[in-house]
Amino acid sequence: MVNYIALGTALLLSIIAGYFSVVGLATIFSGAYYPVLLMATSLELGKVVSVGWLSRNWESAPKIIRYYLCVSVGILMLITSMGTFGYLSNAHLATSNEVEQAQLQIQPLETQLQLAERKLRNAQTSLDSLDSIVANSDIDNASKVRNRQRAERFALADEIRTAAREVEMANSKLLPLRSAQASTEAEIGPLKYIAELVYGAEAKDHFDSAVRFVIIILVLVFDPLAIVLLIAANFGLKPQSRMRFNKVTGKLEVK
């Protein structure tokens, strides 16, 4: 039973690894996407069939065929690993690009918001200064001073209203963009923790290296595990020779 489970697991791993590899290779050579897709699929199928055939016919197969198929399977495992690396790297780059695109949209709006807030503060400060002048004036002169300030006060009030609207508009545009950016950054959050685990305080400068480290670990165990399990399953399902004692002849015989 365990041999059939191993065979099923090996085939499942081979299919998934093959999918990652095929799509990854087609992405790397995107100029000929569909031809590369077809070529990579046939190579993956050839690799699995070669492993199964070698497991079943190792002893009876000519040496030249065994050697050639072993070398071919080894090279195809490297190609599969390369395609898987390309697939996972592309997935990571797509997420990183989303974060960068969001930042490119957010940055000018943040600059606009800062300018509007500065304009609002300056206008409010100027208005407070006018109020301070009126407050420090004599009671008899306060009304005259305020009247002289009327035009300036109207201009400052209009500037405050305009700046407040600009702040409100910038915030309304920034809110969905910041929410989308936070959601995207949450997707790569676990990788940031891994980077901090490996590089500590310098994790921010080595984030891409940490991602490559994780991808390489996955690649090293993905397809090789599928191939070894496939060999083990074929070996377990292959009829095994058994020795038995023949009472008539008094000798051990291979059954």
Domain membership of residue 252 (yes or no) is no
**Residue 250 burial (CB < 10 Å; 0-12/13-18/19+)?**
exposed
Residue 248 included in any domain: no
CA-to-CA separations, 168 to 74, 112, 181, 206, in angstroms, rounded:
62, 11, 20, 38
Mention every residue, 6+ apart, whose C-beta is less than 8 A from residue 53. Answer: 69
**pLDDT value at residue 70:** 92
Number of domains in the chain: 1
3-state secondary structure of 244: strand
At residue 72, the pLDDT reads 93
Q: Which long-range contacts (CB under 8 A, 24 or more apart) does 174-180 make?
A: 174/106, 174/109, 174/110, 174/113, 177/102, 177/105, 177/106, 177/109, 178/106, 180/102
Residue 16 domain-assigned (yes or no) = yes
- The reply to whether 229 falls in a domain is yes
pLDDT of residue 244: 57
C-alpha to C-alpha distance for 157 and 173, rounded to whole angstroms: 25
Say which residue the tokens 């070698």 belong to: 54
Residue 250 lies in a domain: no
Half-sphere exposure of 94 (CA within 13 A, CB side): 7
Task: Give the HSE-up count for residue 137: Cα atoms under 13 Å, Cβ half-sphere.
Answer: 16
Q: What residues have CB less than 8 Å from 102, skipping those under 6 apart?
A: 177, 180, 181, 184
Per the domain annotation, does 45 fall within a domain? yes
> CB-based contacts of 226: which residues, under 8 Å, 6+ apart?
10, 13, 14, 17
Residue 249 belongs to some domain of the structure: no
- Each residue's pLDDT, cut to its tens digit, for the chain (255 residues) gives 788 888 888 889 889 988 999 998 988 888 888 899 999 999 999 999 999 888 888 888 888 998 999 999 999 999 998 999 888 888 877 777 777 787 888 888 888 889 989 988 988 888 888 878 777 776 667 777 777 777 887 888 888 899 899 899 988 888 888 887 777 767 666 667 777 776 776 766 667 777 788 888 888 888 888 888 888 888 777 765 444 556 666 554 545
Query: Among 83, 85, 92, which residue's Cα sits nearest to residue 37?
Result: 83
Task: Give CA–CA dist 10/8, Å, rounded.
Answer: 5
Could you list the residue range(s) of the whole structural domain that residue 168 is in? 2-240
Q: CA-to-CA distance for 240 and 255, rounded, in angstroms?
A: 9
In degrees, rounded to 5, the angle at the alpha carbon of residue 11 between the alpha carbons of residues 5 and 12 is 90
Structure tokens at 85: 């690396």
- Give yes or no for a contact between 233 and 3, defined as CB atoms under 8 angstroms apart: yes
Whether 212 contacts 88, CB under 8 Å: no
Radius of gyration (Cα) for the chain, nearest Å?
A: 36
192 domain residue, yes or no = yes
